[in-house]
Structure 1
Amino acid sequence: MSDITAEFLIVAAGRGTRAGSGIPKQYRPLRGKPVLYHTISACLASKAITRLRVVIHPDDLHLYNDTIALISDPRLEPPVFGGSSRSESVRRGLAACDGSHVLIHDGARPLLECRNIDALLESLRHERAAFLAVPVVDALWKAENGTAQSPVSRDGLWRAQTPQAFRLDDIRTAHAATSDDLPDDVETAKAYGLEVSIVEGSQTNIKITQAGDFALAEQLMGAEMDIRTGNGFDVHKFGPGDHVTLNGIRIPHDRGLVGHSDADVAMHTLTDAIFGALAEGDIGQWFPPSEAEWKGAASDIFLRKAVERTAERGFTITHMDCTIICEEPKIGPHTTAMRQKLAQITGVDVDRISVKATTTEQLGFAGRKEGIAAQATATLVKL
């Protein structure tokens, strides 16, 4: 990291109309937070930044205050209100700066990396101005009426990015010397006569301009995975009957299981595990035993509802594991059928579903053959 320090000036007073209707693009959500939040956070990640100011549109003050509500860095200074053009907004921002060097950055470039900031600051050791850019690598064609006419050499061509770094006095003077609304500060500096060096930037340092750029930025930032695990446990006692139903499979037995529904203790635990991963209560809250409509109901109704809620919340069930605890009946011969039944109900691949059994070595109620217990775990993922 360079020992040169600088102030950051983020220009975010534009309307961003090319990104579609609605609020300005810098305040639209990206991974759950405004674009400008990510841009500010990326800039403040560099320890070489002494202060940071944002130039905003006066009408956006409430949006800006909401954006920075979760940023407590003392280097973030109060915003500056911009003017009628980008150049005027930059001039107003520069007037508020008081350091020796300044980095001017677009509010809609949220993927800036610290290494790029360090490289710019290092260049200011021996250069008066520098900016990030990436070489043009694609073939270029001159077009007319939507058809290719002639190739254009890409030799020596670079795509400009921000930040653009200057000695503060130089860029102030350059802006004061021109009344033109030039597209970026490098052009302003060049018009004044400053030499500006190129520092190679990063292909990921994109500027969000079109509506489709939000999806690209999400992809480049890396989708944040929401991984959740839920647990379920249930017990049902034996009663009169000639079979038990476990994970939807009818198993002959000299007794049945007692419950308000079909008493499928294994499927109940899986349902609870899914609801638990969603933090949406348990099976009793969704299907109260006090309601007559659920008396004798097949438990796949409950499991299907949990799967439906999973999809509605944007999650995918990636794994289920169910352990049945009993002395009898024998579970092993039926586990394959159970896994296939659960796969049919949930849509989860059978190789992602585990069903197994154990005993309590004749200890406790299960060991005394008074009933069956089950426990389950479900893993849910949202990309």
Structure 2
Amino acid sequence: MPKQYRSFGGKPVFLHALDTFLNHRCCVEVALVHPENEAEHVHKLLEQLEPAGFAKLVLVEGGAERVESVRKGLAAIQSERSQHFMVHDAARPGVSGVVIDNLQAALQKHEGAAPALPIVDALKFWDKASVRSVSRSDLYRIQTPQAFRMSKKQELTASSDDSALDEFELAEKLGFDLTLTEGSEQLSKLTYPQDFERLERLLFDWETRTGLGYDVHAFEDGAQVFLCGIEIPHEKKLKGHSDADVGWHALTDAILGALADGDIGDHFPPTDPQWKGAPSDVFLRFAADLVRSRGGKILHLDVTLICEAPKIKPHRDAMRYKTAQIVGVDADRVSVKATTTEGLGFEGRREGISAQAIATISLPSKSRLKDKAE
């Protein structure tokens, strides 16, 4: 999946920056440049936007190279009400209103501006034969958005020099009067997989939630039971509308409880014939996907099976690995335990099995970016 479409804090990467621009008080028009033949997919993702933003938005099909895509995007900007324009990377979700304000202020005295951060690491030149130091004095990392006066738009887009890495380098070659504004680590570009987790920690406040699940299923005539996704030979089976996997049913409820999103019966009513005999991995995967759709992470899952028989210990690791596979976490984040009731109650009389589960998840509770933009 292209990184601009990946989920980040509960919505696609590119929507974060798009939201910021569309809601900025000085924004007149936004050209969203998308890859070729992906207009329908982009339209679908844009349904997550506030309806008011669509009035400012125009979609543009990009080209094979960045320079062509930028030219197409700028050509689509028709408004005569703005004195400035900006070019921003979709893979930089951390743009804020403060960054935009600083760029606009800089354009009062200069023809172009870009946010930048000073180089703080020691620099070395290495040609495979030798290593020598390079002074980091007055060196900066350039970020986006890169902003320019609208009066320079024609000159920038008409240039035949396609060798520049970005618009700021092209403006430099054209002799524009340029300056730098204060950049931010929050403006970092998502390039590698590990960048997602690092930038999410920077941009969002996180809260830890727990949910409790409990389920019971009675025995009936049969030859096997399903527990946490594992088929175990037994003298009876568990009675239920689906496959009656009591462990995964309890765990599904625990995850839904952590999300404060009802219970398994709300999402998969036992009165609905389509769930007759359904494998419980459908329910568990649904709950785990809900966590991810809200930008969250599953931190830990703990299931306790309460029964006299069958014996759980020989199958415990298989249950852990199967559960981890379904929810998409490492097995060391899943615990499966078993206990008896010392012959007491319906479990002790071998009339059925009960299960308890606790799910611990982490959700982005608030955007630090939004606070600063306001």
TM-score range, shorter chain: 0.5 to 0.7
Q: Which amino acid aligns with 1:91?
A: R
Find out whether 1:94 has 2:74 as its counterpart.
Answer: yes
Residues 93-138 of structure 1: CA distance to partner in whole angstroms, max 9, x if unpaired? 2222222211110122222233222221232333332101111111
TM-score of the superposed pair, with normalisation by structure 2: 0.59
34-43 or 128-137, which moves further after superposition? 34-43
Q: Does 1:185 align with 2:173?
A: no
Aligned equivalents of 2:250, 2:311: Cα separation in 1 = 14
Taking a change above 3 Å as real, the CA distance of residues 84 and 298 of structure 1, as seen in their structure-2 partners, is closer
Alignment partner of 1:276 out of 249, 253, 270: 253
Which residue matches 1:353? none
Structure 1 pair 218–172 and aligned structure 2 pair: CA distance change class (3 A): farther
Q: How far, CA to CA, are the matches of 1:376 and 1:295 in structure 2? A: 9
Query: Which structure ranks higher in relative contact order (CA pairs < 8 Å, sequence separation ≥ 6)?
Result: 2
Unaligned stretches of 5+ in structure 1?
A: 1-22, 237-259, 262-267, 288-293, 319-342, 347-374
With 153-162 and 106-115 compared, the bigger mean Cα shift is at 106-115
* 3-state SS in 2 of match to 1:131: strand
Distance 1:102 1:134 in 2: 22
> Secondary structure at 1:207's aligned position in 2?
coil
2:93 to 100, 106, 110: 110
Aligned to 1:36: 14
> Do residues 311 (structure 1) and 293 (structure 2) align?
no
Preserved contact between residue 91 and residue 172 of structure 1 (Cα < 8 Å):
no
Report what 2:200 is aligned to. Answer: 221
Q: CA deviation at 1:148?
A: 4.4
Seq. identity, %: 29
2:320 and 2:212 map into 1 onto residues whose CA distance is: 13
Partner SS, residue 87 of structure 2: strand
**Residues 1:161 and 2:143 aligned together:** yes
The 1:40/1:296 distance shift into structure 2, 3 A limit, reads same
Find the aligned partners of 2:248 and 2:166 in 1 and give their Cα distance: 58
| Aligned 8 A contact 1:270 1:377 in 2 | yes
* Count of residues in correspondence between the two structures: 282
TM-score (ref. length: structure 1): 0.58
Structure 1 segment 118-197 matched on structure 2, within 5 A = 118-145=101-128, 148-176=130-158, 178-181=159-162, 182-197=164-179
Equivalent in 337, 341, 362 of residue 345 of structure 1: 337
* One-letter code aligned to 1:27: Y
Tell me, yes or no, if the aligned pair for 2:117 and 2:184 is still in contact at 8 Å.
yes
Are positions 1:379 and 2:371 aligned together?
A: no
Which letter maps to 1:134? L
- Aligned: 1:79 with 2:71: no
Taking the TM superposition and a 5 Å limit, the aligned residue runs for 1:280-359 are: 297-298=309-310, 300=312, 310-312=323-325, 313-314=327-328, 345=337
- CA shift, 1:378, in A, is 4.4
The aligned amino acid for 1:311 is A
In 2, are the aligned partners of 1:317 and 1:380 still within 8 Å (CA)? Answer: no
Q: In the alignment, residue 112 of structure 1 is paired with which amino acid?
A: V
Look up the equivalent residue of 1:380 and give its one-letter code. Answer: A
Q: CA deviation at 1:38?
A: 3.4
Aligned partners of 2:73, 2:252: CA distance in 1, in Å? 51
Q: CA deviation at 1:59?
A: 2.6
How far is the alpha carbon of 1:380 from its aligned partner?
0.8
Q: CA deviation at 1:154?
A: 0.6
Quote the residue 2:349 is aligned against.
none
| Greater Cα radius of gyration, structure 1 or 2 | 1
CA RMSD, Structure 1 to Structure 2 (Å): 4.7
